Amino acid sequence: MRPAKEQIFNAPSVILAIVALLVAIQALCDAVTPDVYLEIVRRFAFVPGRLTFAFDPDLVAQVLTETARRGDVVAAAEQLFLGDGTAQWWTFVTYALLHGGWLHLGMNCLWFAAFGSAVARRFGTPRFLAFCVATAVAGAAMHYVTHMTDLTPMIGASAVVSGAMAAAIRFVFQPGAPLGESLGFTPRGDESRAYRQPALPLREIATSSSAMSFLVFWFIANFLLGTASLPLGIEDAGIAWEAHIGGFLVGLLGFRWFDPAGFAAIPGEGKAPFVDRL
């Protein structure tokens, strides 16, 4: 009997559903008129200055006075994104659903599928969805504290992707959790073992050559991405590397908040709970 054909790439259903949603949203943004797209960005992108205005109108009024004095296209766009001055709290999450184009979306989906697959299998769907929300919020919060009066919209799922990368560091380099299998690029083997290894303690990350090499790669990649702009059809609009850091910190330091406390018994070995030691 011929063996079943092996899949080259395995991804949990929650990953496929999120990617499909992001693709559908991008397709919708491409299909609507420029005016409708602009309204979508105004309603769902994260604009830090808009949040500041809700708490301190006088501070942003000073910024608006300065931008109006410049009288250029950028100034007009910035005032446009201030909107009615309400905080629009939902944008702490919804900004991650928008992207600056298919290339931006494609890169995020590729990394999200790779690292998110491992994390989703370990956390389970409900915890993973909560994790995605937390990393998105953390990304927006980090961007806010560094751009409190900025009226440029921020978009992209990069904070969530960075969070998934950081969470993966905590277990994909552990013995018994092969990196290639954990990231979903090879057919799944003994999944009960691959995703049930103890998390790498934070204090041991500095002594793990694999983890540290990955951290260096991540920081270099984010430095390079942070120097590039991603056009939204409006000059100077894009994503920010500070948001990546916010998501990454939640994935690395907040791993224990989402990691299951214990698992069903591994066949022949009894119960094997996780212990996340600091």
Report pLDDT digits (tens) over 177-195.
Answer: 555 444 444 344 455 566 6
81/74 Cα distance (integer angstroms)? 11
SS3 label, residue 266: strand
The answer as to whether 4 is a domain residue is no
For residues 170 and 200, the answer to whether their CB atoms sit within 8 Å is yes
Residue among 124, 116, 196, 190 at smallest CA distance from 160: 116
Residue 237 lies in a domain: yes
Is residue 5 one of the residues assigned to a domain?
A: no
Token reading at 259: 């990691």
Residue 168 lies in a domain: yes
Burial of 53 (0-12, 13-18, 19+ CB in 10 A): buried
Query: Residue 212 is encoded by which pair of tokens?
Result: 């540290």
In a domain, 45, yes or no: yes
Token pair listed for 25: 């949203």
Please list the ranges in the chain whose pLDDT falls under 70. 1-9, 57-80, 82-85, 174-196, 221-240, 261-278
The answer to the question of residue 122 being in a domain is: yes
Quote the tokens at residue 226.
């942070």
Residue 248 domain-assigned?
A: yes
Number of domains in the chain: 1
If you count them, how many residues does the chain have? 278
Distance of alpha carbon 130 from alpha carbon 108, whole angstroms = 19
For residue range 1-46, list pLDDT tens digits in order: 444 444 445 789 999 999 999 999 999 999 999 989 988 998 999 9
Say what the pTM is.
0.77
Identify whether the C-beta of residue 74 lies closer than 8 Å to the C-beta of residue 41.
no
Does residue 64 lie within any of the structural domains? Answer: yes
> In the numeric block, which tokens belong to residue 201?
């303690």
210: containing domain:
13-258
